[in-house]
Amino acid sequence: MRNKLQNNVAYIIQKIGEIYEGDPGKKALQKLVFLVQKKGLDLGYGYGLHFYGPYSNALDAEAISLCMDGVIDIDTSSHTHKLRVNSRYAVVSALKPEEERTLAAVLRRYKGYKPTQLELLTTAIYAYEHLPEKSRADVMAGVKKIKGEKFSDAEIEGAMREFSYFGIDISA
């Protein structure tokens, strides 16, 4: 018999797995939740800057707690720590229907993005939000200050093209 559980983090991990047709890594989970929140679905996770871009300690703690409770499994056998809901659990969402649609829309939009691409996009948004000036050049410089030469100018420009999806109007 499967235990029924209502938990948004477990549900999001499960939903990513379904849409992406594979278990998400911890980095992808962090970035996708950040993007879902930027699209307007407040899941209550605050983000600070971390080595791989925006990072939520609370989200990571929730995932670890779910693992300790046996709700999710974390496969640490490779470089990427993969997350999967344990088959003993039937996870259900606590989200409203419109929130479900927002979650699914963001996940579908970024299906196929590598975690590094998500890192760049979330870092660019984070930089934009924390800069006094909001020009493309300022965001470009902000990303480079955070990431050094990890990403090319063309890659950063590509990430900034996604800003409009989140309602971010960036000046020239």
Report pLDDT for 147.
Answer: 95
Burial (Cβ within 10 Å: 0-12, 13-18, ≥19) of residue 72: buried
DSSP 3-state of 132: coil
Q: Quote the number of domains for the chain.
A: 2
One domain, residues 141 and 108: no
For residue 15, give Cα distances in angstroms to 6, 23, 26, 64. 13, 10, 14, 18
Instruction: Please indicate, yes or no, whether residues 76 and 36 belong to a single structural domain of this protein.
Output: yes
Same domain? 91 vs 137: no
**The domain boundary residue, chosen from 112, 130, 152:** 112
Question: Can you name the residues that pair with 29 across neighbouring β-strands?
Answer: none
> Does residue 103 sit in the same domain as residue 156?
no
Backbone angles phi, psi at 91, to 5 degrees: -90, 135
Per-residue confidence of the chain (172 residues) as pLDDT tens digits? 578 878 899 999 999 999 999 999 999 999 999 999 999 999 999 999 988 889 999 999 999 999 999 999 999 888 889 999 999 988 989 999 999 999 999 999 999 999 999 999 999 999 999 999 899 999 999 999 999 999 999 999 999 999 999 999 987 6
Q: Are residues 30 and 97 in the same domain?
A: yes
Of the residues 78, 93, 112, which one is the last residue of a structural domain?
A: 112
Q: What is the pLDDT of residue 165?
A: 98
Same domain, 97 and 80: yes
pLDDT for residue 51: 82
121 and 139 co-located in one domain: yes
Q: Are residues 107 and 118 in the same domain?
A: no
C-alpha to C-alpha distance for 119 and 124, rounded to whole angstroms:
9
Model confidence over 90-103: pLDDT tens digits? 898 999 999 999 99
Beta strands 72-75 and 82-85: pairing type?
Answer: antiparallel
* Same domain flag for 66 and 105: yes
| Per-residue pLDDT, 5 | 78
For residue 108, the one-letter residue type is R
Claim to verify: residue 59 and residue 30 sit in the same structural domain: yes
Asked if residue 123 and residue 108 are part of one domain, the reply reads no
3-state secondary structure of 83: strand
CATH of the domain at 33: 1.10.10
DSSP secondary structure string, 14-59? HHHHHHHTSPPBHHHHHHHHHHHHHTT-------EEETTEEE-HHH
Q: How many residues does the chain have?
A: 172
Residues 118, 74: one domain?
Answer: no
- Give me the pLDDT at residue 44, please: 94
Q: Is the pTM of this model over 0.85?
A: yes
Range of the domain at 164: 113-172
